[in-house]
C-alpha cells in the first residue's frame, strides 16, 4: 500500500453542496435559505427570542442555588473494591486510596477525594485511606481486621 492509494471507504464522505450556482442546480438564488427575512441573512442569533414577548426563561422564577464550595467526591462501595481485588486489579495488602483505584480503573479521575460506602461484604484485611466513609463501611473493614482511615480536611475559618 502506498500513500497515494489510501482512500476513505465508499459512502464515508459526502460531496459538499454548491449553493447559489444558478437556478438549474436546484439550490441557486436563495441557496436553500428560503425567502427573505432575518433567517435568510448571515449572523442570525434568535434562540429564545419570542418576537418581543417576555421569553419563557425570564417568565419563570429563579429557584435554588449552586454551592461553589461543594466537594465532588469519588463515591466507591466496598463491593467495587472487593471486585477489583478479586479481578486482580487491586493489591489487598497495599494501601487502597484514590491513586490505587485510578490505576485499577475503578475510578476515572481523582476529583476532590474518595468517599467509601458500606455496600458489600469484606472478608480480607484491607488498608483504605479515604476523605470520607460511612459508619457501616468503617465497621465492616474493621470487623475483617483491616483499617479505614478518614483524613480530616476542614477549612480553617477565621473569626
Q: Which residues contact 147 (CB under 8 A, 6 or more apart)?
A: 126, 127, 128, 141
Instruction: Evaluate if residue 158 carries a pLDDT over 80.
Output: no
**pTM score, two decimals?**
0.60
146 and 95 in one domain? Answer: yes
Helix intervals (H) in the chain: 56-59, 78-86, 98-104, 135-143
Averaged pLDDT of the chain:
90
Domain count, the chain: 2
Instruction: Evaluate if residue 157 carries a pLDDT over 60.
Output: no
- Give the domain extent around 142: 74-150
Instruction: Evaluate if residue 159 carries a pLDDT over 50.
Output: no
Average pLDDT over residues 16-23: 91
Cell representation of residue 88: 486482580
Asked if residue 49 belongs to a domain, the reply is yes
Q: Residue 153's pLDDT is what?
A: 61
81 and 56 in one domain? Answer: no
Average pLDDT over residues 134-143: 95
The predicted-structure confidence for 105-129, as pLDDT tens digits, reads as follows: 999 999 999 999 999 999 999 999 9
Listed residues 8, 42, 64: the one ending a domain: 64
90 and 58 in one domain? Answer: no
Asked if residue 7 belongs to a domain, the reply is no
Cα 150 to the center of its chain, rounded Å = 26
Amino acid at each position: 500500500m502506498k500513500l497515494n492509494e489510501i482512500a476513505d471507504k465508499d459512502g464515508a464522505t459526502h460531496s459538499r453542496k454548491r449553493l447559489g450556482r444558478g437556478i438549474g442546480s436546484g439550490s441557486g438564488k436563495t441557496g436553500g435559505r428560503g425567502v427573505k427575512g432575518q433567517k435568510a441573512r448571515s449572523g442570525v442569533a434568535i434562540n429564545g427570542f419570542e418576537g418581543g414577548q417576555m421569553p419563557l426563561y425570564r417568565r419563570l422564577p429563579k429557584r435554588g442555588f449552586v454551592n461553589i464550595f461543594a466537594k465532588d467526591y469519588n463515591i466507591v462501595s466496598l463491593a467495587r473494591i472487593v471486585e477489583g481485588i478479586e479481578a486482580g486489579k487491586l493489591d489487598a495488602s497495599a494501601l487502597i486510596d484514590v491513586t490505587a483505584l485510578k490505576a485499577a480503573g475503578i475510578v476515572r479521575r481523582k476529583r476532590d477525594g474518595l468517599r467509601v460506602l458500606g455496600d458489600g461484604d469484606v472478608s480480607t484485611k484491607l488498608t483504605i485511606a479515604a476523605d470520607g466513609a460511612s459508619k457501616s463501611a468503617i465497621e465492616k473493614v474493621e470487623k475483617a481486621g483491616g483499617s479505614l482511615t478518614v483524613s480530616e480536611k476542614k477549612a480553617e475559618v477565621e473569626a
